[in-house]
Amino acid sequence: MRYVAAALLAALGGKDITEKNIESILKSVGIDAEADKVAAVVKELAGKNLEDLMKEGKEKLSSVPSGGGAPAAAAPAAAAAGGAAPAAEAKKAVEEEEEEDDDMGFGLFD
């Protein structure tokens, strides 16, 4: 990913996407570039319009399902199954865990 990001930075800076430019960008932030990976990125992006590639990638990402619905669905199921007792126990367990994590025997600025 760092190689693609460096290629995009080169393009945004008005430079050509070349191995030298990608390696220069990566070196400027302390990353040693692997020549074979840099060459692969240059080869894949050669002659392609970056804006079209990003648009195409965005469309592909929008079709990928993402999580996030399961925890919300679990709460009504817990309430229907046993009322407030399981929820209270879960809340107590979370609070106890938070209390244990709060201190850990030292302070942030000790």
Going from the C-alpha of 40 to that of each of 18, 77, 78, 95, the distances in angstroms are 11, 50, 51, 50
Lowest mean pLDDT among 26-30, 56-60, 69-73: 69-73
pLDDT for residue 21: 92
Where are the domains positioned within the chain? Answer: 2-60
Are 41 and 33 in contact by the 8 Å Cβ rule? The answer is no
pLDDT tops 70 at residue 82? no
Tokens standing for 4?
A: 């693609």
Q: Tell me what percent of the residues of the chain surpass a pLDDT of 70.
A: 61
pLDDT for residue 90: 64
Task: Return d(Cα 31, Cα 49) in angstroms, integer.
Answer: 26
The top-level CATH class assigned to 2-60 is: mainly alpha
pLDDT tops 70 at residue 96? no
